[in-house]
A and B are shown apart, each in its own frame.
Chain A
Amino acid sequence: MGASASAEPELLDALVRAEAAWGDPQRRAIHALQRALEELGPSRRELAPVVGAVLRDLRRLLAHAEQLAGDVAATAAAFRAADRLLDHLGAAASIAGPATAPITGTAASPIASAVPAPIVGSAARPNERGTVLPVPDVSIEWRWPEGWTHSTRWGDARLGGDGEVGAGVRSAAGAGVDVTRDAIRSGAFEELRIGAWAAAAVGSAIGPFAARASGEVFVGARGGAEALVHVGRDGARARLGGDAFAGVRADGEVRGSVGPVQAGAEGAVSYGVGVTGQADIDLTPHRIGGRVKLGVALGLGLDVGFEYYLEPAWLADGLVDLAGGAVEVGTTVAAVGSDVLSGAASTVGEALGAGGSVLRTVGGWLG
């Protein structure tokens, strides 16, 4: 018991605080990855299993880390209780010396109680499951050039682009449900397209700045509908949309993100008959905002759409870094102060010891 009480719960607190501080960046990274996967086009089917494995393991890692932090926090509380008991029994004097109560005896407001309690007992339960119904795709298409992409790198910066012309018939549909310990997602889509098209897109990423633009000219008929609902511990997201069109149409979009703000605009000019309506809503701690697109064509037609998202986490990251820096500086100052005090105490103790020795010697002479 003495060994337990001499352990420093502050070290345990540091681990708990670190896990709590890293939880959010990890959740945001998972969220960003999830969204990037959802936005993939033709490569989605090929890359979904690979990126899905990353997502599953990242979530599992987070759950394990939360469980470990919970155990550590509980142990810190147990150490403090043992310290208080020893202090009451007076045993602390034999461990910490006669001067004052041990450092941990100042645990009237233990740090552990100020640390957000991690989810204890919610260990990584391998109960994640998902069902994706077989997708009855029908595709008779001619594309050129097939899967052509081009990308350039300058250090960390990347520029990627692709383009194609094509013609044919395509029908794709899918539906599924995905249940994890964090969320339930359910969605379905249907797309039918007959016609010819020419499309191009370009995207770039330089550090935190990203932008992309794309355009398409389409001649023919197409229709589609999609619905996706995500409800979880991280908030809610919904995507609903549908369109039907026959005629000639030119689409374009541009999207960019700077710091916590992501904004974009899209539009289409068409000649034919059709109607379009799409809406996305994100209400999560990581992303707040939405996207709306509306259009109608009866003869000459026009579609317009806007999106605006705010990522509060970007702002929080700065604050967390600032606070983390302050805590580290405070810890260093405290450690230096503690060293100085213990050095001074030791010097005083040695001086007293020397004085005692002199007195004993003098007493010996007198005796």
Chain B
Amino acid sequence: VADAAALTTLLAALARASAVLDRCTESRRARAADVRTRWQGGRRRRFDAAWSDLEAITRRVHADLRAARARVAARLDGR
């Protein structure tokens, strides 16, 4: 029955994951902007493809996290 307590813990874990992801993404983008211009030919194409995948997944994780936090908060608020 300790559900509200566990939900609170889960919400805190989601917030932590979100904060880590934000900081990591910010750091990665800043460094990758420097790096991208250094690539040539095939390497550049591979980097762009990998970077595009990474950004797509990052956007999806952000959306997932927002949805999960809203859902858990709603459950916690009894909605």
Contact = CB atoms under 8 A, between A and B. Distances in A.
Contact of A160 (B17, B38, B47, B76): B76
A11 interface: yes
Contact of A67 (B8, B39, B50, B78): B50
A61 B54 contact: yes
A147 B12 contact: no
Contact of A29 (B16, B38, B46): B16
Given A67-B50, A149-B76, 14 more contacts: A4-B40, A15-B28, A29-B16, A29-B21, A43-B3, A47-B68, A64-B54, A64-B57, A71-B46, A72-B47, A158-B12, A159-B8, A203-B2, A214-B2
A43 B39 CA distance: 48
B3 A41 contact: yes
Nearest to A148: B78
Contacts of B6: 36, 39-41, 43, 203, 212
A65 interface: yes
Interface stretch (A50-58, A84-92, A293-301, A345-353): A50-58
Interface in A111-166: 124, 147-151, 158-164
10 contacts: A7-B38, A11-B31, A11-B38, A22-B20, A22-B23, A33-B17, A47-B71, A151-B4, A160-B4, A160-B76
A29 B67 CA distance: 17
Interface in B31-77: 31-32, 34-35, 38-40, 43, 46-47, 50-51, 53-54, 57-58, 60-61, 64-65, 67-68, 71-72, 75-77
Interface residues of A, number: 70
B1 A12 contact: no
Contacts of B54: 61, 64-65, 68
Interface of B (DSSP majority class): helix
A29 B13 contact: yes
B2 A12 contact: no
Contact of B27 (A22, A68, A161, A253): A22
Contacts of B43: 71, 75
Contact of B4 (A61, A124, A150): A150
Contact of A151 (B13, B68, B76): B76
Interface string A1-16: 0011001100110110
A26 B20 contact: yes
- Interface core residue of B4, B24, B60 (most chain A CB under 10 Å): B4
Interface residues of B, number: 50
A89 to B, nearest CB: 19
B7 A3 contact: no
Nearest to B71: A50
Interface stretch (A101-109, A194-202, A223-231, A238-246): A194-202
A12 B38 contact: yes
A18 interface: yes
Nearest to A24: B20
A8 B77 CA distance: 53
Nearest to A4: B40
B5 A3 contact: no
A202 B67 contact: no
A30 interface: yes
A203 B6 CA distance: 8
B10 A40 contact: yes
B21 to A, nearest CB: 7
B57 A205 contact: no
A33 B27 contact: no
A61 B51 CA distance: 11
B3, B5, B13, B27 pick with most chain A CB within 10 angstroms: B5
Contacts of B50: 64, 67-68, 71
B38 A25 contact: no
